[in-house]
């Protein structure tokens, strides 16, 4: 959960002789240059655009811990996952709030944590000086302006849309059922075609394999859209269906009900560079409370 994430957002002119620290892991200073700035960061100053926030802060600093299967509590802040993990994603510490609520800085839990006004937990970054007001204002402006996605992601409409598993990731082993399965797309999907006809979530039937006839289909899949362009959506089965088993999610790119983008082109589910092909995600759940 980002609530336990220690984030450092640094204007180019500020020297910070500190290291990143996150819940469950300690930063070694890796990712910072000799001046305390993100190593390899662009010469341009931090601006109120997500791509700038990603390249100046999330990638060089936060992914020290928040990347891949080892990311604390599944919060991935790499370039492929961060936008979907933050924007319109519910807070865990304060379930009535979103981590980033587009157009609503005051109601965005990210800002509350950075400003020290959250009702739960300490001010971020924990154990370090508060972020400079000017830096927080850049993030506030991005949220106030609608928390727009990375520009690069919004310009891929001419290519077949591909999908990315934000959480869980491919072949990941989860200690507990996911609160939601979160998938992001490289473009805008046709929300009217992203329905249960093109989505299938099954479990193996306790043998860890698929295609042998004993699979169990999880019913009542609910689709929640978190972003339109690029499309980010979360999936949840009806309550009470998670058990310890291996799971397989299929988002159809072929067959009678393929998921399509806004130009009516089927998704490039198998990421071979051409439209068509199913997107398949497999993961394990070890324990169900």
Q: What is the pTM of this model?
A: 0.76
> Rounded distance, CA 261 to CA 159, Å?
10
Whether residue 187 lies inside any domain: the answer is: yes
- Backbone φ, ψ for residue 26 (5° rounding): -120, 135
Q: Is the pLDDT of residue 30 over 90?
A: no
- Give percent above pLDDT 90 in the chain: 51
Q: Within this chain, do residues 249 and 221 fall inside the same structural domain, yes or no?
A: yes
The per-residue pLDDT for 136 is 86
Q: Within this chain, do residues 6 and 123 fall inside the same structural domain, yes or no?
A: yes
Whether residue 151 lies inside any domain: the answer is: no
- Per-residue pLDDT band at 282 (split at 50, 70, 90): very high
Whether residue 150 lies inside any domain: the answer is: no
Q: Within this chain, do residues 55 and 189 fall inside the same structural domain, yes or no?
A: no
Whether residue 20 lies inside any domain: the answer is: yes
> Rounded distance, CA 195 to CA 218, Å?
14
Whether residue 73 lies inside any domain: the answer is: yes
Sign of CA pseudo-dihedral 227, 222, 260, 162: positive
Domain boundary among 144, 171, 201: 144
Domain boundary among 144, 177, 203: 144
Say how many domains are in the chain. 2
Q: Is the pLDDT of residue 119 over 60?
A: yes
Q: Within this chain, do residues 176 and 138 fall inside the same structural domain, yes or no?
A: no
C-alpha angle 124/145/7, rounded to 5°?
15
**pLDDT digits 0-9 by tens, 126-172:** 666 777 888 889 889 999 999 999 875 444 444 789 999 999 999 99
Q: Within this chain, do residues 136 and 206 fall inside the same structural domain, yes or no?
A: no
CB atoms within 10 A of CB 18: 16
Q: Within this chain, do residues 110 and 66 fall inside the same structural domain, yes or no?
A: yes
The H-or-E segment that residue 135 falls in is: helix 133-144
- Residue 40's domain comprises 2-144
Q: What CATH number is attached to the domain comprising 262?
A: 2.60.40.3710
Q: Within this chain, do residues 169 and 94 fall inside the same structural domain, yes or no?
A: no
Domain boundary among 144, 165, 196: 144
Whether residue 274 lies inside any domain: the answer is: yes
The per-residue pLDDT for 72 is 65
Q: What is the mean pLDDT of residues 86-115?
A: 90
**pLDDT digits 0-9 by tens, 203-239:** 999 999 999 999 999 999 999 999 988 999 999 999 9
**pLDDT digits 0-9 by tens, 41-51:** 456 898 999 99
- Per-residue pLDDT band at 70 (split at 50, 70, 90): confident
Q: Is the pLDDT of residue 28 over 50?
A: no
The H-or-E segment that residue 115 falls in is: helix 109-115
Whether residue 149 lies inside any domain: the answer is: no
Whether residue 257 lies inside any domain: the answer is: yes
The per-residue pLDDT for 285 is 97
- Backbone φ, ψ for residue 280 (5° rounding): -125, 125
Question: What six digits make up the tokens of 61?
Answer: 């600093």
Q: Within this chain, do residues 53 and 130 fall inside the same structural domain, yes or no?
A: yes
Q: Within this chain, do residues 214 and 131 fall inside the same structural domain, yes or no?
A: no
Q: Within this chain, do residues 119 and 164 fall inside the same structural domain, yes or no?
A: no
Q: Within this chain, do residues 138 and 205 fall inside the same structural domain, yes or no?
A: no
């Amino acid at each position: 959960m980002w609530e336990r994430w220690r984030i450092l957002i640094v204007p180019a002119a500020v020297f910070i002789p500190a290291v990143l620290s996150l819940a469950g892991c300690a930063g070694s200073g890796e990712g910072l240059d000799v001046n305390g700035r993100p190593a390899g960061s662009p010469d341009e100053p931090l601006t109120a655009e997500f791509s700038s926030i990603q390249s100046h802060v999330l990638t060089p600093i936060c992914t020290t811990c928040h990347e891949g299967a080892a990311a604390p509590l599944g919060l991935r802040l790499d370039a492929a996952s961060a936008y979907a993990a933050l924007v319109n994603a519910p807070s865990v510490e304060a379930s009535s709030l979103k981590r980033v609520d587009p157009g609503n800085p005051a109601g965005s839990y990210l800002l509350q944590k950075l400003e020290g006004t959250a009702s739960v937990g300490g001010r971020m970054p924990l154990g370090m000086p508060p972020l400079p007001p000017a830096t927080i204002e850049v993030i506030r402006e991005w949220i106030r302006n609608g928390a727009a996605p990375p520009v690069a992601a919004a310009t891929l409409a001419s290519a077949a849309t591909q999908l990315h598993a934000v959480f869980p990731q491919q072949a990941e082993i989860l200690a507990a059922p996911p609160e939601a399965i979160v998938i992001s797309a490289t473009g805008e999907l046709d929300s009217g075609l992203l329905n249960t006809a093109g989505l299938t979530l099954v479990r193996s039937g306790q043998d860890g394999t698929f295609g042998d006839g004993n699979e169990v289909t999880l019913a009542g899949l609910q689709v929640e859209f978190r972003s339109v362009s690029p499309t980010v959506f979360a999936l949840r089965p009806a309550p009470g269906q998670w058990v310890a088993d291996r799971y397989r999610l299929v988002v159809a790119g072929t067959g009678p009900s393929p998921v399509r983008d806004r130009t009516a082109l089927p998704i490039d589910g198998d990421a071979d560079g051409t439209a068509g092909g199913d997107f398949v995600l497999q993961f394990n759940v070890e324990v169900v409370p």
